[in-house]
């Protein structure tokens, strides 16, 4: 063949080699350009190691305790709580006692309604009588015997009953060698009395005396003259 550009004969160039396609094995194959190449399925991946937190089955539930064991454990628990409560010290108050606490209020003495026997000696007529009245009595002081009665309550109960004292008179009881006047009866039947302590014997008896007021008045008149 003659090449006009160079002026001498030039052989035609050899055919250009076609691109080669490879696969993973490294061997080359020639395929025509218009041929479809199917690479095939991808190569299998190497096995992956199992994770460290692999699932482990949960332990089986423990069997329920029998009634006898449950009773023993319950009694043991109760006994333990009882011993624990006994061993604990009593709770202490967080507030200290006040230094200015009020003093305790004294309680009034106990008064019990009892039957009181009155031994009456009427010096106006020489008559002696016995009567009973129901009045409150309170015990005597420590170290002393007998009881105490209120003069006003005794007088009201005496003059309310059938053994009342009639006529003008004065009524008293003896405290040692002293007369304790506690009732005075006027001409119109009214009586004058006031609260006072009357000493009652341990047998719950009270001896009283009745005198005429005129005797005392006439005696004073004789002294004045």
We report the CATH number of the domain holding residue 140 as 2.40.240
DSSP element (H, E) containing 127: strand 127-139
Six token digits for residue 98: 């006040």
In a domain, 95, yes or no: no
Give the total number of structural domains in the chain.
1
DSSP element (H, E) containing 156: helix 151-160
The segment with the largest mean pLDDT, out of 2-16, 49-63, 116-130, is 116-130
In a domain, 85, yes or no: no
CB 129 within 8 A of CB 122: yes
CB 24 within 8 A of CB 43: yes
Nearest Cα neighbor of 183 from 209, 204, 205 is: 209
In a domain, 36, yes or no: no
pLDDT tens for each residue of 119-153: 999 999 999 999 999 999 999 888 888 999 999 99
In a domain, 128, yes or no: yes
Would you say how long the chain is, in residues?
A: 225
pLDDT tens for each residue of 155-206: 999 999 999 999 999 999 999 999 999 999 998 889 899 899 999 999 999 9
In a domain, 88, yes or no: no
Structural domain boundaries, residue 154: 112-214
In a domain, 129, yes or no: yes
In a domain, 198, yes or no: yes
In a domain, 23, yes or no: no
């Amino acid at each position: 063949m003659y090449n006009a550009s160079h002026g001498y004969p030039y052989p035609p160039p050899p055919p250009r080699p076609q691109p080669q396609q490879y696969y993973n094995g490294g061997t080359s194959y020639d395929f025509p350009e218009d041929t479809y190449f199917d690479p095939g399925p991808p190569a299998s991946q190497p096995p992956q190691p199992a994770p460290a937190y692999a699932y482990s089955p949960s332990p089986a539930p423990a069997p329920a305790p029998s009634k006898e064991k449950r009773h023993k454990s319950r009694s043991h628990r109760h006994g333990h709580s009882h011993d624990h409560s006994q061993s604990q010290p009593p709770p202490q108050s967080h507030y200290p006692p006040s230094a200015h606490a009020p003093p305790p209020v004294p309680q009034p003495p106990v008064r019990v309604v009892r039957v009181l026997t009155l031994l009456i000696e009427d010096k106006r007529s020489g008559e002696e009588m016995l009567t009973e009245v129901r009045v409150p009595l309170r015990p005597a002081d420590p170290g002393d015997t007998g009881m105490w009665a209120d003069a006003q309550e005794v007088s009201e109960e005496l003059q309310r009953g059938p053994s009342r004292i009639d006529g003008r008179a004065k009524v008293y009881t003896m405290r040692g060698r002293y007369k304790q006047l506690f009732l005075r009866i006027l001409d119109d039947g009214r009586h004058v009395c006031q609260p006072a302590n009357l000493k009652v014997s341990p047998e719950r008896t009270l001896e009283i005396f009745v005198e005429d007021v005129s005797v005392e008045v006439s005696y004073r008149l004789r002294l004045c003259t």
